Amino acid sequence: MKIKCIAIDDEPLALQQITGYIRKTPFLELVASCKSAFEALEVMTNEPVDLLFVDIQMPDLTGMDFVKTLNKDVKVIFTTAYEQYALEGFKVDAIDYILKPMGYDDFLKSARKAQDYFLLKEKANVTVESRDDFLFVKSEYKIRKISLADILYIEGLREYVKIHQKDEKPILSLISMKALEEKLPQDQFMRVHRSFIVNLDKIKTVERSRIVFGDVYIPVSEQYKDKFQEFLNRNFI
């Protein structure tokens, strides 16, 4: 499938870079290149659009304010030179954000997140059935059996989750974090962030309020910090 895109940026060089990257990516289709949110709105009244690459800092109407007016079926990847805007992006269900200056590898990584989302949305509804030591995950017309002991952590990506396993490729499922959390045994799995559930049995290193799985650092947010600290205290020697 081709994902129909609009690039929006008031800086001509940045806009040229984004449109070039979109044209270079086989699964993306450029619908329009716009210098403002108002230009994009005009295009969207006449053309179907799946995905927007939006600069946050723009005059008159910022990218963030613009996105808040949109139908939720249109997904967004923010581009910004300011890392502090990342949290705001998640509040409006952005698929990702890319920090400027960006290279094509950064762009492609975010674009693939969008591709994963649209492929899952296109294929099937997902249900999860749990047993004492495994889950059945129905996704993409298949039923996958996942041993709970093999799960390292679960990553929430807006409307779907990515189940990371030991020595296996991650499994993507179109289901909410809340629904999956309710299926997991609470003595073995804990939500430590709005975007992460961890297998407590697999934790080997905790560093500065972050759980370390190889080269992945999972933050423990303030909302879940007390509960996670209780777990550490119960098992501390």
Domain boundary among 122, 157, 178: 122
- The verdict on 106 and 209 lying in the same domain is no
Bridge partners of residue 78, in order along the sequence: 54, 97
Residue-averaged pLDDT of the chain:
85
CATH of residue 188: 2.40.50.1020
Domain boundary among 88, 122, 156: 122
**151-183 residue pLDDT tens:** 999 998 767 888 999 888 888 887 878 888 888
Who has greater pLDDT, 57 or 192?
A: 192
**194-232 residue pLDDT tens:** 999 999 999 999 998 899 998 899 999 999 999 999 999
**123-154 residue pLDDT tens:** 544 455 556 688 887 666 677 888 999 999 99
What's the pLDDT at 130?
58
Domain that holds residue 106: 3-122
230: helix, strand or coil: helix
Q: Return the DSSP state at 26.
A: T
- The verdict on 133 and 64 lying in the same domain is no
Number of domains in the chain: 2
What's the pLDDT at 210?
94
Domain boundary among 87, 122, 157: 122
- The verdict on 173 and 110 lying in the same domain is no
93-114: average pLDDT: 90
- Out of 74-78, 157-161, 191-195, pick the least confident: 157-161
The residue count of the chain comes to 237
Sheet holding 151-157, edge to edge: 171-173, 160-165, 151-157, 196-199, 189-193
SS3 content of the chain, % helix, strand, coil (to 5): 35, 35, 30
